[in-house]
Amino acid sequence: MSVANLGLMRAFDEIAKAAGVTYKEVVRSEAAKILEAASRNTLAAQVQLIEKNVKAAPRRKLNGKLYKMSWKMPDAVWAMAQAQIAASIKRRKASRGLAKKSWIQVAQSIGISVSAPGYVESATTKNGDYPGDGKATEESNGSDFAIVLRNSRTYSPSVFDAIRKAMNGREKFFRENLKLGVFKSIETIAARYPGLYTK
């Protein structure tokens, strides 16, 4: 996945100089904001639609037999169909935050803490938690530093667009602060970029 933003990299360099911190400290601090925003921007299935779509299935396979839901069924078969519907809804609800969670996994893999709603943090597959969707590595070469992100869910336009939107948003935030004169004092920098001075 390549979403390099040269404008953002230049912004990091300017922030580091103005704040009196290292480029690495800026990148890690800003990565937390970017990944949190990426998770927030990534789409998740709506609970109401999950229930609606599962219940709308016209056929169900029960005990190896295919039944139309419009048929009149024996009570035992009907009860089995309802149990299957309930289980399917429960499973889909449990997994609906997985795409969002992939960005949380990216952050956690390099020791960055970001917040997310409970349903995202607890999102799981039917086989249990799957932590392999997202990860990152840190690369250093002298004073140069970069975080390389890997997200196996970028086949989804929502996931890819989410990280790009988050990075562009952070660059815009920098430019707004530049116009406001935020970088003229440590106090105003700390107020707008508190993560830079949090160890």
Do 23 and 110 share a domain, yes or no? yes
**Domain that residue 136 falls in:** 6-42+106-115+128-197
pLDDT in tens, 77-92: 999 999 999 999 999 9
- Residue 88 and residue 13 share a domain: no
Q: Is residue 66 domain-shared with residue 144, that is, in the same domain? A: no
Q: Which residues of 117-143 are buried (b: 16+ CB within 10 A; e: fewer)?
A: eeebeebeeeeeeeeebbbbeeeeeee
pLDDT at 143: 79
83 and 169 in a single domain? The answer is no
Same domain assignment for residues 68 and 30: no
- 30/66 same-domain check: no
- List C-alpha distances in Å: 7 to 2, 32, 35, 144: 15, 18, 18, 16
pTM: predicted TM-score of the whole model, two decimal places: 0.87
> Could you read off the pLDDT of 118-159 as tens digits, one per residue?
999 999 988 877 667 889 999 998 878 999 998 888 777 889
**Rounded-to-integer distance, Cα 18 and Cα 87, Å:** 55
Number of domains in the chain: 2
